[in-house]
Amino acid sequence: MTLVALINPNTEGATTAMMAAIARRVLRLEDGYDVQGVTVAAGPPMLIDEEALRASVEHVLDAADRLLTGPAGDRVAALVVGAFGDPGVEDLRARTSVPVVGIAEAAMREAGVDGRRFGIATTTPGLAAAIDARVDRLGRSAQYTGLRLTPGDPRRLAATPAEMTERLAEAVDRCVREDGAEAVVIGGGPLGEAAEALRHRFPVPVIGPVPAAAREIHRLLTVCGRAAGGREGRP
């Protein structure tokens, strides 16, 4: 069994469970995968600004250390960081030999395939600059049509999922009609169910970052021969 750990950089356990469930729709048990959700031990229940995003790096690293040195550590074949700023991804790559994927980088890679122009729709204006900076750091600025934000407090929207989905739909529509996006990324792990709901509502691909990360993990594990299970590919 190939164990993939999805680390949630916020402390909301329900969000961890939701993202892990979405990842399991791609990395299926019948295909030999197991996805374990891991919630950080400290921090806010939702990352809505750059200060919280920066602070989450330490918590992500701590969660990964606890996991990899714990009883299941030798079985972990890959790590997913489930916040759209990819906090701690580069640090984890320097500290472990297993593949590490951030949901933002995976979603942007998928959105920008073959030079496709893409936009991002999200609910967190306090992270707008960090998202733009992540696009630039990943070398995707030439394809990026820009960020569209939902109005209102992101915490209030998170408490009303149906409304959040509709506000995100409006943001996606603006990405497509006004910005010329050929694909749109939903910018946030906690927005996973909304991303699923919007997948088929538009004439362009709407990409959920958690499934994109799961697909990237599958590709990486297949390439490096670890899909049989564990760090060393043990059966």
Q: Which residue ranges does the chain devote to CATH 3.40.50.12500? A: 105-208
pTM for this predicted structure:
0.93
pLDDT digits (tens, 9 = 90+) for 134-189: 999 999 999 999 999 999 999 999 999 999 999 999 999 999 999 999 999 999 99
Mean of pLDDT over the chain: 94
Question: CA nearest 185: which of 38, 86, 92?
Answer: 86
Q: Which residue ranges does the chain devote to CATH 3.40.50.1860? A: 2-102+211-224
The top-level CATH class assigned to 2-102+211-224 is alpha beta
148 forms beta bridges with 121
The domain made up of 105-208 has a fold known as Rossmann fold (3.40.50)
Please give the Cα distance from 144 to 184 (Å, whole number). Answer: 10
229 in Cβ contact with 78 (< 8 Å)? no
Question: CA nearest 181: which of 136, 117, 120?
Answer: 117
For residues 50 and 72, the model is more confident at 50
pLDDT digits (tens, 9 = 90+) for 54-94: 999 999 999 999 999 999 899 999 999 999 999 999 999 99
Chain Cα centroid distance, residue 39: 14
209 in Cβ contact with 107 (< 8 Å)? yes
Residue 30: what pLDDT? 87
